[in-house]
Amino acid sequence: TTKTTTTTTTSTTTKTTTTTTTSTTTKTTTTTTTTTTSTTTKTTTTTTTTTTTTTTTTTTTTTTTTTTTTTTTTTTTTTTTTTTTTTTTTTTITTTTTATTTTETTTTTTETTTTTTETTTTTTETTTTTTETTTTTTETTTTTTETTTTTTETTTTTTETTTTTTETTTT
């Protein structure tokens, strides 16, 4: 009698590893604009020039009038005296002169004053505005790397058993 037993075992193991890498890049650009306007400076300059001219004119007129009046009076007196033998004639001449002088003086003074005032006003206005602009640009780059590792392990076990029995009987 022959008895044969055969056992076959087959084992298969499969191991799969999957690695996934995800890379994310974020680029951020920030622009900041700052505008600064300085205070406006306004300068006003006023110049006033005043010129005053005074002219005084004095005129004096003097008038002198002289009047002379002369009066002459002549008186003649004749006296005749006769005596017996003598005749006497006396003649008297009297002359009277009267002189009258009148002097009249007239003085006229005329004063003329002329005042001229000239005013010149000059106004100069200057406006200065200064504007300052500052621009700042900030660029930020952010890189995020995410790694995901997935491990899949598959174990497959196949067991195959084959039993062969051969029975031989010999008589």
pLDDT for the residue 23:
74
How many Cα atoms occupy the beta-carbon half-sphere of 69 within 13 Å? 5
Q: How many residues does the chain have?
A: 171
pLDDT for the residue 162:
65
- Would you kindly state where each structural domain of the chain is located, as residue ranges? 1-17+149-171
CA atoms of 137 and 30, how far apart (whole Å): 6
Q: Do 46 and 126 contact (CB within 8 A), yes or no?
A: no
pLDDT for the residue 136:
82
Regarding pTM above 0.85, the answer is no
Q: Do 166 and 33 contact (CB within 8 A), yes or no?
A: no
pLDDT for the residue 12:
60
pLDDT for the residue 103:
93
CA-based nearest residue to 4, from 170, 168, 162, 165: 165
CA atoms of 114 and 112, how far apart (whole Å): 7
pLDDT for the residue 65:
93
What does pLDDT average to in each consecutive run of 10 residues of the chain (171 residues)? 60 66 78 75 92 94 93 90 84 90 94 95 89 82 76 66 70 73
pLDDT for the residue 7:
59
